[in-house]
Amino acid sequence: MPTINRRLYAPESLRRLLAPASVAIVGASAKPGAFSNRTLENLANYLGEIHLINPRYTEVSGRPCHASLRALPSAPDCVIVALPWQAALDAVREAADAGAGGAIVYASGFAETGLAERVALQSAMSDIARGSGMRILGPNCLGIANNKLGAGLLFQMGYAALQHPPGRVGLVSQSGALGYALLQGANHGMAYTHLLTAGNSCDVDTLDLANYLVHDADSRSVACVLEAAGDAERLLELSDVAHACAKPVIVYKTAVGEAAATAAQSHTGSLAGSSQAFEAAMRRGGFIRAASLAELTEMADFFAKAPPPQAPGVAVMATSGGAAIMCADASADHGIVLPQAHPETQAVLDANVPEFGSARNPCDITGQVLNNPEAFRACASSLLRDNHYGALVLPQVTAGQAMADLRCPLVSSLASEAGKPVCIVWLSDWLEGPGAATYARDAHVGFFRDTDRCFRTLAAWQEWHLRRAGNPRSARGEDVDAAVGAQARALLSEQPRVVTEQAAKRLAQMYGLPVVTEHAVSGVDQLMSAMASMSFPLVLKYDVPGIAHKTELGLVRVGLENAQEVEVAARQMLESIQLRAPGSLAGQFLLQRQAQADFELVLGMKRDPVFGPLIMVGLGGELVEIFGDVATELAPVDQYAAANMLRRLKCHRLLQGYRGKAGVNLDALAGLVVRFSAMCADLAEEIEEIDLNPVMARGSDFIAVDALFVRRQTQETPTQE
């Protein structure tokens, strides 16, 4: 998916493409297996007009066939281009000239090949879309399915034979094959309104398609399979629309590793961006992140069924002690509380659970309930009425249609009456066993094949609604004085790609960030004079243009207790630079008082090619590499987002103060993160990487004692020579 410098397409502009009243298939053929023939078979239940186009035939499969789109009595809404890549561009141009509303291009062999001439062909297709206003899906696109219309506008075999229960989940996938794999879940109870796939996205992309489904009233949730996210601005635009529509958008992102990102680029010409930056974009946008395809479908189906939570607690009622324990483990892993019942509920449980069971949450009502169905009803009903609980989890250990036929209507009715979801966890290894589809199809019952996915979904459900209630969506950060930005850019223009530490600290100071006071001198003799006004211990550095990591070359010494130690350290640094980095430019000695702190922190930024500046905060010094305890967000952030970053750190309890050890002022630290993020956002076009490490922290005082800025590589960036 290439980066697109425009806003999301309005749903109405995609209507003729995605909800067509008439369809034309260019390249129609009766040849078995031909993509055009498969498409015609997939339109078996479509009630709109179907036109076949091929100058070689007058009739195909008993239908009239026209020589061209111009021969049709009126312009079709959607044109399927079922031709090889060599002929696809001309067919798209003809469709635009004929006044078609949209075109779907099946052919591969365009930008995903990496060949310059094929990239140019795809670019020409984009030009047609821009010039004509006709919307295009593809090339390299499997097509779409609009289940409400019975329109299988795709070349995958078997669509017309799939079951299509009334839809509640809209499905978007950049990969057509993965999308269709999920669509087949309709046969075990998944209810999709649409499958919309994007392919190479020469015009319409996955974000446009997701936006269409966010506005679709029948799609109560939207499931997205993304290889790349396009650009940050349009992703956040989608998040604003989804928030306004109160529509949950669940995302499964592929291409999270370097090798996978390379594969994505060769697959659809997509730029994936880093996993950390994507995660940050998901958090900021209020999207729900799925860890797998299985979790994507279960989460999307649950969000489409479940009302808002009435309470944070969850009740578990099992017929197996082992299953109850599994649920307790999963709830602890995902921060879901399993509170004990109100006395009235507890009395019902005590009266109906055998003494060899457990009447506490998680509740083991034992297999004895098979002989007493009324006990099952009484316990389930009482737990759902209890205002300690927002959901009821029922692990099912045995497949059986007869039991499902008895229990599913009961729990569905109880869930509907209580306004709370019931979650079935299907633990039988007979995954498609009798009864599974009965639960999955029910409108009030969430269906999961794994306890971990069930409780992760419940946690995501609670968090999504909590975020909506709190509405923390500004995250725009502080404004930066234009004069400050101009001064910073002027200073940067004189610097090599690896900015000198002195200049880096001046830049940080310009944006209101506290840095250590130091003396900068050129020679050893001058150091002696500088020490006269300083108290020991001292820190000495040798700042050489173009050298990013001074410690590795022995150019940093701490804890110097007297003038002699300073002089010896300085001369050793000069020897080290001559031996280990010969030819380096002359540097300057930086002499500073050794700062005292309770914590060493790090503030950092790395520019993501898709999302822009990604900031981090966490434990600093050497610990940042050893423990990696950092939290990341896209810049800029506001106070709320910065505070949330700190809460995500493993060391958060230590920063609060722990077992008599002093903590830090977390509000002040969050404010520091906000100012740092504002600087990063302001310099996003100039800077590739920033490290303030360590930032010495004690109480409300924070001071950066080292700073690294790396400029973006451009033809104008000075080198160190």
What was the pLDDT predicted at 230? 67
> Could you tell me what percent of the chain has a pLDDT over 70?
94
- pLDDT > 60? residue 258: no
At residue 2 the predicted structure's pLDDT band, cuts being 50, 70 and 90, is very low
Summarize the confidence of residues 298-327 as an average pLDDT. Answer: 97
Where are the chain's structural domains? 11-303, 307-469, 517-593, 599-711
Q: Which CATH architecture has domain 517-593?
A: 2-Layer Sandwich (3.30)
Range 180-202 average pLDDT: 95
In the predicted structure, residue 55 carries a pLDDT above the cut 90: yes
* pLDDT at 4 (0 to 100): 64
pLDDT of residue 479: 83
Q: Which residue has tokens 């506005």?
A: 215
Predicted pLDDT of residue 625: 74
At residue 265, the pLDDT reads 40
Question: What token pair was written down for 313?
Answer: 């607690």
Check if CATH label 3.40.50.261 holds for domain 307-469.
Answer: yes
Name the β-bridge partners of 691: 604, 708
Q: Answer whether residue 273 shows pLDDT above 80.
A: no
pLDDT over 90 at 665, yes or no: yes
- Rounded mean pLDDT, 276-305: 94
Model's pTM, two decimal places?
A: 0.86
Q: DSSP class of residue 617?
A: E
Query: φ, ψ for residue 493 (rounded to 5)?
Result: -60, -20
Would you state the pLDDT for residue 503?
94
pLDDT-derived band of residue 610, with 50, 70 and 90 as boundaries? confident
Q: Are 37 and 52 in contact (CB under 8 A)?
A: no
DSSP annotation string for 315-377: EEEES-HHHHHHHHHHHHHTT---PPPPHHHHHHHHHHS-TTSB-SSSEE--GGGGG-HHHHH
pLDDT reading at 266 higher than 70: no
pLDDT tens, residue by residue, 540-586: 999 998 888 888 899 999 999 999 999 999 999 999 998 988 988 88
From 86-90, 268-272, 468-472, 668-672, the region with the lowest mean pLDDT: 268-272
Sort strands 135-137 and 102-105 into parallel, antiparallel or unpaired: parallel
* pLDDT recorded at residue 292: 95
Q: Tell me the average pLDDT across 433-439.
A: 96
Dump strand ranges (E) for 372-510: 389-396, 422-426, 445-448
Query: pLDDT class for 718, splitting at 50, 70, 90?
Result: low
* Per-residue pLDDT, 269: 38
- Measure the CA–CA gap between 519 and 517, rounded to whole angstroms: 7
Token pair of 389, please?
A: 């609980």
Taking only the tens place, the pLDDT of each residue in 236-250 is 899 999 999 999 999
Q: Does residue 21 carry a pLDDT above 90?
A: yes
Q: Which residue has the tokens 């020991």?
A: 536
The per-residue pLDDT for range 338-380, each reduced to its tens digit, is 999 999 999 999 999 999 999 999 999 998 887 888 999 999 9
> Could you give the residue ranges of the DSSP H alpha helices within 63-111?
85-98
Domain 11-303: assigned CATH number: 3.40.50.261
Question: CATH for 599-711, among 3.90.1150.10, 3.40.50.970, 3.40.50.720, 3.30.470.20?
Answer: 3.30.470.20
Q: What is the pLDDT of residue 721?
A: 41
Question: What is the distance, to the nearest Å, from the Cα of residue 169 to the centroid of all Cα atoms in its chain?
Answer: 19
**11-303 and 517-593 agree in CATH topology:** no
Q: What is the pLDDT of residue 149?
A: 95
Residue 324 scores a pLDDT above 70: yes
Average predicted confidence (pLDDT) for the chain = 92
Burial 705-718 (b: 16+ CB within 10 A, else e): bbbbbbbeeeeebe
